[in-house]
Amino acid sequence: MYKIFKPVIDFIVAFIGFLILSPIFILVTIFLAIANSGKPFFFQARPGKNERIFNIIKFKTMNDKKDAQGNLLSDAERLTAVGKFVRKTSLDEIPQLINVMKGDMSLIGPRPLLPQYLPLYNTEQKKRHLVRPGITGWAQINGRNAISWQQKFEFDVWYVQNLTFAMDCKIILKTILKVLKSEGVSSNNNVTAEAFNGNN
């Protein structure tokens, strides 16, 4: 029964949350627009429920600086000071409330990854796409970027198979604690997690 009403609950909570966080949203947008030459937002294609592709919206925490050969600098070199703060405090996730209101995402669910990973999943891992992806999820409160891909997928599939209202409430509460402690934001001190290269 909860699965039927979850999209409605997601929309209501995301709408209220966006209204409450709108002053922060506006301030972060202004600061990132200054830091990133007028580009405060980052759009990227991601697979959602049933592997349907949508564009995720996030705050742009890295600039587009390139080396002498025209190649983008490393993530660490492109991470701006304001971007580092936004990422550490998880404020970069706020724009995804728009994705939730649009129906692309849920508040709670497996994180939407990159489309190029789709052919690399095994049959069990593909089950993570049986539900809408989330802003936070079971894997995020159990390690986030500090755990292996295999562990993340195991947590994702476990969530899909054990989805309940009580579970979502538990994840939200633990997510708040994780954000306050800034736990698991980076992987082995890297700015972003390493790419998934399959199960070999």
What are the structural domain ranges in the chain? 2-181
Residues 112-124: what's their mean pLDDT?
Answer: 95
Sign of CA dihedral 86, 133, 145, 192: negative
Map tokens 């939730």 to a residue.
100
Which comes out higher in pLDDT, residue 107 or 146? Answer: 107
The Cα 57–Cα 81 span in angstroms is 20
Per-residue model confidence as pLDDT tens digits over 65-81:
888 888 888 888 888 88
Q: Beta strands of 149-192 (E only): which ranges?
A: none
Measured N-to-C along each axis, helices 2-35 and 81-88 cross at an angle, to the nearest 10 degrees, of 160
pLDDT at residue 64, as a whole number:
83
Confidence at 87, pLDDT banded by 50, 70, 90: confident
Amino acid letter, 34: I
The Cα 92–Cα 60 span in angstroms is 8
pLDDT at residue 187, as a whole number:
46
Confidence at 167, pLDDT banded by 50, 70, 90: very high
Do 183 and 89 contact (CB within 8 A), yes or no? Answer: no
Q: Model pTM?
A: 0.86
Distance of CA 48 to the CA centre of its chain: 12
**Lowest-pLDDT range, 149-153, 161-165, 184-188?**
184-188
DSSP label of 37: T
Confidence at 189, pLDDT banded by 50, 70, 90: very low
The Cα 26–Cα 38 span in angstroms is 14
Closest CA to 154 of 128, 132, 116: 128
**What is the percent of the chain with per-residue pLDDT over 70, rounded to a whole number?**
94
Per-residue model confidence as pLDDT tens digits over 31-53:
999 988 899 998 999 999 999 99
Per-residue model confidence as pLDDT tens digits over 129-150:
999 999 999 999 997 777 889 9
Map tokens 């070999």 to a residue.
200
The Cα 122–Cα 119 span in angstroms is 8
